Chain A
């Protein structure tokens, strides 16, 4: 009983108890595979990126140099600039390949409807925020992901795309001079790249908090694909 994961299922009150145990196949293999591979890549890219940033922790001129922040060595990967570059340049390919594979899978399988935030989700965002942050009533869950979740995942995918585009400009500002000027030049590209990192880290933080709050059943579904008793099943 592979409950379709994208088509809205009419909401029904979830009856507690084992008699109504149902499962839904929420996450196809490709999505789970990309999720965990990207977990590693994102960690490596962020940590080695911070080590690279340590070499010049500023967005201004070299003379006079005003350091923006002091990234502790314990958060950095690679030991020194050269080591960090090796990690960064190796995992960049894994990161990109994962992203390309993920997007291709989502598009060709039509599974993109599951996480993609669309206009009709807009109305559901505020009730969800009210529920999470202002003790509002919990809106009925009618899809695998609620509107706020969709917004977060769609943003994360766009951030991933931006991290690659800004990174390419930093690596090859001459060959990609057109892209560089689109981003406002080399300096802006460097700042954008850093801002995208911060935004991605914020996403990860929120994501982890939500994973903890939603418990084991939810967590395990990203490993096996199956979720027991999802709220949206009648």
Chain B
């Protein structure tokens, strides 16, 4: 510290000694660990851990019966202003007449379920906020069957860990069971009191107000109850967090 134009006197006082200054500086050396983030080979696993820890924390403070805020009809975003996000195509041309939901995995009654069967279960309508990972949001009016009711209907194993869904546009998603069983989580077949439009995921989509937008899979074709998901989800495989609760 003394080659900087400052003349350090040789002093018996430790406060003035170079070795003390050097020692004090060395005490900061643990900070160099942060440099690991500059090395790509180390950085990527570290960032994965960071996201994993965030997901873990988010799952910890998820409360099963804490409801997402609901809104008055006057606060709802008009349908034409509800942005449509798709990763591939707006309309994967689902044949709505022949559509069924393939249910498999840890369920007593696997098989093909028609929309009429799903609609025979109690209907829930709610105005909730859809939050996109990009930062925008919209309040929509959604109607459908509680996922928990449907899982009971098909005899799903209650202690299974995940739902895994696949979609007509090759999208896929996973949902942890606690979020799936949340009282506001829907197999949604209505928006704005009308059957789902094609770009919003006709005939059936997920609507989980405690989850981020990319987990609200559209154009569902299959649903599996499982302890192990083959892949966490399309966007998760690109690097987004797997849990992302709201």
Binding site for B on A (CB under 8 A): 1-2, 18, 21, 23, 25, 29, 32-33, 36-37, 40, 44, 52-53, 55-56, 58, 61-63, 65, 81-83, 85-87, 89-94, 171-175, 177, 180-181, 186-187, 190, 216-217, 220, 223-226, 228
Decide yes or no: A86 and B239 within 8 Å by CB, A23-B16, A171-B58 being known contacts.
yes
A174 to B53, CA, bound (A): 19
Residue contact A175 to B246, C-beta cutoff 8 Å: yes
Residue of A18, A44, A83, A173 near B9 (CB, 8 A) is A18
Residue contact B133 to A174, C-beta cutoff 8 Å: no
Question: Which residue from chain A places its CB closest to the CB of B211 in the assembled complex?
Answer: A174
18 contacts between A and B (CB under 8 A): A18-B7, A21-B9, A29-B24, A29-B28, A40-B34, A62-B136, A63-B82, A81-B133, A82-B239, A85-B133, A85-B239, A86-B50, A90-B49, A171-B58, A172-B58, A172-B245, A174-B246, A216-B6
Residue contact A37 to B31, C-beta cutoff 8 Å: yes
**Which of B60-68, B119-127, B168-176 contacts its partner?**
B60-68
A15 to B181, CA, bound (A): 74
* In the complex, the 7 A-B pairs of residues with the closest C-beta atoms, listed nearest first: A90-B50, A82-B239, A56-B135, A62-B136, A55-B134, A89-B54, A86-B47
Hey, which chain B residues are within 8 Å of A90, CB to CB? 46-47, 49-51, 53-54
A87 to B6, CA, bound (A): 40
Residue contact A83 to B239, C-beta cutoff 8 Å: yes
Please tell me if B194 contacts chain A, counting CB pairs below 8 Å: no
Residue contact B25 to A224, C-beta cutoff 8 Å: yes
Decide yes or no: A32 and B28 within 8 Å by CB, A23-B15, A81-B133, A175-B245 being known contacts.
yes
Hey, which chain B residues are within 8 Å of A225, CB to CB? 24
Residue contact B48 to A174, C-beta cutoff 8 Å: no
| Shortest beta-carbon distance from B52 to chain A in Å | 9
Decide yes or no: A174 and B58 within 8 Å by CB, A83-B239, A186-B131 being known contacts.
no
Hey, which chain B residues are within 8 Å of A93, CB to CB? 50, 53-54
Residue of A55, A58, A82, A180 near B235 (CB, 8 A) is A82
A13 to B147, CA, bound (A): 76
Residue contact A177 to B9, C-beta cutoff 8 Å: no
Count of chain B residues with a beta carbon within 8 Å of a chain A beta carbon: 58
A25 to B21, CA, bound (A): 11
Residue contact A1 to B69, C-beta cutoff 8 Å: no
Hey, which chain B residues are within 8 Å of A186, CB to CB? 129, 131, 137
A220 to B16, CA, bound (A): 13
A58 to B20, CA, bound (A): 51
Residue contact A224 to B24, C-beta cutoff 8 Å: yes
A225 to B238, CA, bound (A): 45
Residue of B11, B131, B241 near A85 (CB, 8 A) is B241
Hey, which chain A residues are within 8 Å of B230, CB to CB? none
Residue of A44, A82, A187 near B240 (CB, 8 A) is A82
| Shortest beta-carbon distance from A5 to chain B in Å | 13
A56 to B53, CA, bound (A): 26
Please tell me if B77 contacts chain A, counting CB pairs below 8 Å: yes
Residue of A18, A36, A83 near B28 (CB, 8 A) is A36
Decide yes or no: A85 and B240 within 8 Å by CB, A173-B131, A190-B135, A216-B6 being known contacts.
yes
Hey, which chain B residues are within 8 Å of A36, CB to CB? 28, 31
A224 to B134, CA, bound (A): 43
Please tell me if B113 contacts chain A, counting CB pairs below 8 Å: no
A162 to B165, CA, bound (A): 38
A173 to B213, CA, bound (A): 13
Please tell me if B209 contacts chain A, counting CB pairs below 8 Å: yes
Decide yes or no: A89 and B6 within 8 Å by CB, A23-B15, A82-B239, A175-B61 being known contacts.
no
A171 to B244, CA, bound (A): 8
Residue of B1, B135, B241, B246 near A53 (CB, 8 A) is B135
Please tell me if B132 contacts chain A, counting CB pairs below 8 Å: yes
A180 to B129, CA, bound (A): 13
Beyond known contacts A65-B136, A175-B245: 16 more, CB 8 A cutoff: A21-B9, A29-B24, A32-B28, A37-B31, A44-B37, A56-B135, A62-B132, A62-B137, A62-B138, A63-B82, A86-B51, A86-B239, A93-B50, A94-B34, A177-B66, A226-B20
